[in-house]
Chain A
């Protein structure tokens, strides 16, 4: 069985995000880039499935500029077997990514596709769902546990009310939530080995997909600065402030 996982290149979660002066986007100069943490969880899950002999091959895909090879290498160092880069300089939006992934799914025919539930840059949480729809296969989003048995994946999902367990027939799309696993650190020997693993490169044109953005970004602004808080001495004082100063209770 083959598993396809994704590795989106995003600004590292530790970086202080700064908006460019002309409000056209965020500053990426000398900025540390990483694999989207939810994708890292997807990669880890796939590698664990392979280590448990439930899966034979783990393929990692990234969509974006040539620099995304760095994120593919990271996934390879974490244990994925080979990589695919869909190289494009376009501003990529969820639908376009889902279409490209669908084209890769057509090519590779994986039984399982694991993606992060969202990327920490756009926070869209759309790609996995769109991909399932385009591929016409089942989906199980926000997974906190996955079990594979006889062509069926039993997935525990984190939902607003608590946990929900569903089973989906393979092939299926699963998106990962934070608690699914704790990704390992890539060991130095594995980082060295990753150098030799193959990465195939396609363009959207190769795959016959039009990736022209459908949403135009007009302006990017930093969130308003948070005001400093105050410490109140008593509950009465708190209620008084909430009622009279902030006016959130009548």
Chain B
């Protein structure tokens, strides 16, 4: 695929808007990040638009050497991105600066987005049953995808809907098998008992396994890898050599299951302000306060817990440290751990509408003792917990993008399968133009989401891509929402039935834009801010 002028033009529109806002946020010639809050709508919209642009870029790059059908999907996606960004940004000069409306749409865009083109794509994707094998995977990567696809279909899929409907905890058998196949070691170097070659990073294995497991169950399998991913990344960045040697092999083998306890009842998006109090005592620390939404905290043996080790509140995020809290594993929705010293940790699962299988807990720490060896980085790590957490979150975000891709693929497959067999007005639903157009749009976004996820994975492997991890998370998770909605819609009443997997996909997709950084936090605080800060230099 050659450079598409429309895409370049839209990129220009986005960049000139970024500069427009940067100028508005200048104070005596210097950029003032605080005044960004006066332009939240524009910043948010630009962050979204930029995530779409980047998705288009990686799709176009891939399509250069792919099949004709994928080229066709890529062109259509680019047209969609160009069209939606242009209309968004050109409609309000007050927010985005004046742009040239004459460039808003072209024959390329209208041809690509015509019902003729879309229904043609729809028919093809229906004929392919939604399966398109990526052309740029190595033999090993294909094998990983196939193996975990099969495992997901044969072992997880049969119990996935029951886990959801009856709010079950993931069966021990599944945990054992997932661990036995090596999934928990995907982001851990070989020298610490994991799978990563010591000389190079490879996120793609983790992405492929996550996608395949999430395709059958987000809560029952696809999210199992998120936690070890976050803990491993944080430990690798901040842990002492001894801590890495002690913890990483146990995490990689699945002997120690993990959970993440960052969010508190009063602080979610604003991680830098968390208040769980850590007080130094002889040989360690005692924790007091509460955490919430700690997913899998019952089953986990290890809670990665962010706490305030400095009493001086003005230190903000520099007063935080990251702890490894050990506890026994519980399958119940309530648990309590009592220490001989009198300390106590209790947990209670919060009922949720979806994302079931792992349970997310409220946690209460009451004089709970943690030995000094369990603070990440030990003495060196004190006050650096926020940074280690953020490193963990980067891993969590790319992993979440892969979870979204899995859910999107599931919805596409399910919608194709159902619309082929269901007849309305004496014809299969799939034979109607409207269905074909809808399925085409889902397919286009699926492949864009997947290409973008793989591209960011590769970027992270090179030690770059912190912001891109947020971009891809934002893009894929948002897409999974309207896609599960459309796929559900194509099922008619059956899509709303509790017994049908489709209703679960829809409920599960909703959580993706809430955790691992809400879409607003990512758009405003991570993406928007860094885009505008560097707008002058692009």
Binding site for B on A (CB under 8 A): 12, 14-16, 18, 29-34, 69-70, 73-74, 77, 185-189, 191-192, 194-195
Residues of chain B from 66 to 87 with CB closer than 8 A to chain A in the complex: 67, 69-70
User: Which residues between 154 and 202 of chain B lie within 8 Å of chain A, taking CB atoms?
Assistant: 180-183, 185-186, 195, 197
How far, in Å, is B523 (CB) from chain A's closest CB?
33
State how many angstroms separate the Cβ of B530 from the closest Cβ of chain A.
34
Tell me, yes or no, whether B497 is within 8 Å of chain A by CB.
Answer: no
Contacts A187-B181, A188-B195, A191-B147 given; 6 further ones with Cβ under 8 A?
A15-B131, A31-B131, A73-B139, A185-B151, A188-B209, A191-B143
Select from chain B the residue with minimum beta-carbon distance to A76: B143
Of B67, B139, B140, B180, which contacts A187 at CB under 8 A?
B180
Q: How far is the CB of B212 from the nearest CB of chain A, in Å?
A: 11
CB contact between B143 and one of A14, A15, A31, A186 (< 8 Å): that residue:
A186
* A32-B133, A77-B143 known; A188 vs B67 contact (CB < 8 Å): no
A28 to B197 alpha-carbon distance, docked (Å): 33
Q: Is the CB of B185 within 8 A of A15?
A: no
Closest residue of chain A to B154 (Cβ to Cβ) is A185
Interface residue B534 (Cβ < 8 Å from any Cβ of A): no
Q: Is B135 an interface residue when CB atoms closer than 8 A count as contact?
A: yes
Whether the Cβ atoms of A186 and B142 lie closer than 8 Å is no
Which B-chain residue is minimally distant from A70 (CB atoms)?
A: B139
Q: How distant is the Cα of A128 from the Cα of B444 in the complex, in angstroms?
A: 44
Complex: chain A residue closest to B181, CB-CB: A187
Q: Are A32 and B131 in contact (CB under 8 A)?
A: yes
> How far, in whole Å, are A18 and B131 apart by their CA atoms in the complex?
13
Query: From residue B323, how far is it (CB to closest CB) to chain A in Å?
Result: 29
Task: Give the docked Cα–Cα distance between A29 and B150 (Å).
Answer: 21
Q: Check if A16 sits within 8 Å of B128, measured CB to CB.
A: yes
Q: Counting CB contacts under 8 A, is B243 at the interface?
A: no
Given A16-B127, A32-B131, A32-B133, A191–B140 Cβ distance below 8 Å?
yes
Q: List chain B residues, Cβ under 8 A from A195.
A: 140
Residues on B with beta carbons closer than 8 Å to the beta carbon of A30: 67, 69-70, 128, 131-133, 135
With contacts A31-B133, A185-B151 taken as known, whether A73 is within 8 angstroms of B143 at the C-beta atoms is yes
Query: Cβ of B146 < 8 Å from any Cβ of A?
Result: yes
Known: A30-B67, A30-B69, A30-B133. A188 touches B139 (CB 8 A): no
Interface assignment of B373: CB less than 8 Å from any CB of chain A: no
Q: How far is the CA of A192 from the CA of B186 in the complex (A)?
A: 11
CB pairs A–B below 8 angstroms (30 shown): A14-B131, A15-B131, A16-B129, A18-B128, A29-B67, A30-B131, A30-B132, A31-B131, A32-B131, A32-B133, A33-B133, A69-B139, A73-B139, A73-B140, A73-B143, A74-B143, A74-B146, A77-B143, A77-B147, A185-B148, A186-B147, A187-B181, A188-B144, A188-B182, A188-B185, A188-B205, A191-B140, A191-B143, A191-B147, A195-B140
Q: Residues 281-317 of chain B: 1 if any A CB is under 8 Å from the residue's CB, otherwise 0? A: 0000000000000000000000000000000000000
B195 touches A70 (CB 8 A): no
Contact digits for B75-119, partner A, Cβ 8 Å, 1 yes 0 no = 000000000000000000000000000000000000000000000
Query: Which residues of B are found within 8 Å of A29, using beta-carbon distances?
Result: 67, 69
Contact A188 B181 (CB under 8 A): yes
The minimal Cβ–Cβ distance linking A95 to chain B, given in whole angstroms, is 29
Q: Please report the C-alpha to C-alpha distance between residue A69 and residue B139 in the assembled complex, in whole angstroms.
A: 8
Minimum CB–CB distance from A75 to chain B (whole Å) comes to 10
A-B pairs under 8 A by CB, number: 71
Task: Tell me the nearest residue of chain A to B416, going by C-beta.
Answer: A16
A69 to B131, CA, bound (A): 22
Complex CA–CA separation, A143 to B197 (angstroms)? 40
Q: How far is the CA of A106 from the CA of B119 in the complex (A)?
A: 56
Q: Which residues of chain A come closer than 8 Å to B147, judged between CB atoms?
A: 77, 185-186, 191
Candidate in B147, B148, B205 with the most chain A CB atoms within 10 angstroms: B147
> With A and B bound together, what is the CA distance between A31 and B127 in angstroms?
12
Q: What's the minimum C-beta distance from A109 to chain B, rounded to whole angstroms?
A: 29
In the A-B complex, list the 6 residue pairs whose CB atoms are closest, starting with the nearest. A188-B182, A70-B139, A16-B129, A32-B133, A30-B132, A187-B181
Closest Cβ of chain A: how far from B446's Cβ, in Å?
13
- Point out the residues of chain A lying under 8 angstroms from B146, CB to CB: 12, 32, 34, 74
Nearest chain B CB to A220 CB, angstrom units? 16
> Quick one: CB contact mask for B338-362 with A, threshold 8 Å, 1 for yes?
0000000000000000000000000
What residue in chain A is nearest B202 (Cβ atoms)?
Answer: A192
Contacts of A192 in B (CB 8 A): 140, 195, 197
Complex Cα gap A18–B67 (Å) = 16
Q: How far is the CB of A82 from chain B (nearest CB, A)?
A: 16
Bound Cα distance from A33 to B147, whole angstroms:
12
Tell me whether B144 and A191 are in contact (CB under 8 A).
yes
Q: Which residue of B lies closest to A195 (CB)?
A: B140
What chain B residues lie within 8 Å of A14 (beta carbons)? Answer: 129, 131
Chain A hits for B131, CB < 8 A: 14-16, 30-32
Within 8 A of A (CB), among B385-440: none
Q: Give bound CA distance, A188 to B258, whole Å.
A: 20
Do B182 and A189 have beta carbons less than 8 Å apart? yes
Q: B residues within 8 A CB of A32?
A: 131, 133, 146
Residues in A with CB closer than 8 Å to B128 are 16, 18, 30
Which residue on A lies nearest to B126, using beta carbons?
A: A16
Residues of A within 8 A of B129 (CB): 14-16
Q: Evaluate contact between B143 and A70: CB separation under 8 angstroms.
A: yes
The smallest beta-carbon distance between B193 and chain A, in angstroms, is 10
Q: Is the CB of A189 within 8 A of B195?
A: yes
Q: Which residues of A contact B67 (CB under 8 A)?
A: 29-30
Smallest CB–CB gap between B450 and chain A, Å? 13
Nearest Cβ distance between residue A66 and chain B, in whole angstroms? 11
The closest CB in chain A to the CB of B132 belongs to A30
Most buried by A among B70, B131, B133, B143: B143
- A34 to B142 alpha-carbon distance, docked (Å): 10
Contact of A188 with B133 at beta-carbon distance under 8 Å, contacts A29-B69, A70-B142, A73-B140 already known: no
Tell me the nearest residue of chain A to B130, going by C-beta. A16
Which residues of A lie under 8 Å from residue B181 when comparing CB positions?
Answer: 185, 187-188
Most chain A CB within 10 A, of B69, B139, B151, is at B139
B197 CB, min distance to chain A CBs, angstroms: 8
Chain A residues, CB < 8 A from B143: 70, 73-74, 77, 186, 191, 194
* Distance between Cα atoms of A14 and B185 in the complex (Å): 29
Cβ-closest chain B residue relative to A69: B139
Question: Which residue of chain B lies nearest to A67 when distances are taken between CB atoms in the complex?
Answer: B139
CB distance from B133 to the nearest CB of A (A): 5
Nearest residue in B to A29 (C-beta to C-beta)?
B67
Q: Is the CB of B182 within 8 A of A187?
A: yes
Query: Which partner residue on chain A sits nearest B145 by CB separation?
Result: A32
CA distance A30 to B127 in the complex (A): 13
Bitwise, B495-532 to A at CB < 8 A (1) or not (0) is: 00000000000000000000000000000000000000
Least CB distance from A223 to B in Å reads 15
A46 to B459 CA separation, bound complex (whole angstroms): 41
Shortest B136–chain A CB gap in Å is 11
A102 shortest CB reach to chain B, Å: 27
Give chain B residues whose Cβ lies under 8 Å from the Cβ of A191.
Answer: 140, 143-144, 147
